[in-house]
Amino acid sequence: MIKVELDRPWRFNKRDKKLFTVIPVFDLNAIPQTVEPITGVKVNNLGVALFKHGNVTMEYEISKSGFAPGEMIVVSMKINNESTKAVTRARVKLVENSRYVAFRTWESLPPGMFLENRGDHQRLSRKIAIGEQKIFIDSYKTGKAQIYLQVPPTVPSFSTCPIVAVDYILDIKLETNGTLNRNVETTHPITVGTIPVSTSTPDIQPSAPPLDSPVGPTVEPSAPPIEKSGEPQETPRVYPIYPPLPPPSYEESVNGVDGTSLDVGDMERYVPCYPFYALPPEISKRKD
């Protein structure tokens, strides 16, 4: 928050204040784990006690584990229904978990020392994106499902602050037409950053065109090469060249005004903005 006050002699002072957003830069390319795919298997024996209906097995796969706002999370699932109930829906939720920590001090502690309060913590979970697909996989059949879930404008994952931490999980679930213990559900953590993972590989240009004729015999030099006097020449370094990313836009937070508690009293309504990367055309068409 920025506060400004204009001191006017013999008049009432004028005051104004504005809110702004401070966003930590989180480059997913600096975290090797974000390029690793997510895979897993979840099995659930539907029903309860003496009324079991059989197993439903869900295999899921995601191409990577780190995403930036605007990118599409594609969850591919293989379903093996060995139960007497039909699988009717596949659903994926992106959940934001926030943790707030309180500290306290006593007169007996040295100056500047604080102890973390146990029990005075606050944890909040918000569903910030949901994707689902209606399917029908009958008893003792197999099938597939693929869900596209776009990451909305939101704060990146971070745990470097001593009083606030934010992380994200994906909740993957299959629903059946049973009654009790009817779903197959699992969760997996993901990382949300401000700079997306670059999956492009650098183009290596040949130093010379290929030879059309076979290579002739090698002629050995009659004397060692002459060393040039003067300053030593450094070997030029070769860096991989990746295509530049399109600049992000800044979109309002998916949590809206509820994402801040400062919009009270004489404060104007304020919604923080976060970097948002536009979708490639081919992914946009798939989403439709």
Q: Give the pLDDT confidence score for residue 275 in this predicted structure.
A: 82
Highest mean pLDDT among 22-26, 43-47, 108-112, 113-117: 43-47
226 occurs within a structural domain = no
Contacts of 70 (CB under 8 A, 6+ apart): 150, 151, 153, 248, 276, 277, 278, 279
Q: Give the pLDDT confidence score for residue 215 in this predicted structure.
A: 46
Separation of alpha carbons 195 and 24, rounded Å: 11
Number of folded domains in the chain?
A: 1
3 state DSSP class of 178: coil
133 occurs within a structural domain = yes
187 occurs within a structural domain = yes
Over 70: is that where the pLDDT of 257 sits?
no
Exposed, middle or buried: residue 186 (CB in 10 Å: 0-12, 13-18, 19+)?
Answer: middle
Q: How confident is the model at residue 93 (pLDDT cuts 50, 70, 90)?
A: very high
Could you list the residue range(s) of the whole structural domain that residue 52 is in?
2-199+248-287
Of 30-44, 144-158, 215-229, least confident by mean pLDDT is 215-229
Rg (CA), the chain: 29
209 occurs within a structural domain = no
CATH number at residue 92: 2.60.40.640
73 occurs within a structural domain = yes
Q: Which residue has the higher pLDDT, 141 or 281?
A: 141
111 occurs within a structural domain = yes
92 occurs within a structural domain = yes
Q: Backbone phi, then psi, for 144, in 5-degree steps?
A: -135, 160
Query: CA angle, 34 as apex, 63 and 287 as ends, to 5°?
Result: 40
Chain-centroid distance of CA 265 in Å reads: 35
135 occurs within a structural domain = yes
Over 50: is that where the pLDDT of 148 sits?
yes
Which pTM was predicted?
Answer: 0.71
Q: How confident is the model at residue 109 (pLDDT cuts 50, 70, 90)?
A: low
Residue 28, strand partner residues: none
Average pLDDT, the chain: 78
Question: Concatenated DSSP letters for 83-131?
Answer: ESS-EEEEEEEEEEEEEE--EE--TTSPTT--EEPSS--EEEEEEEEEE
| Average of per-residue pLDDT across 88-95 | 96
What pLDDT, in 10s, does the model give residues 169-191? 999 999 999 889 999 999 999 99
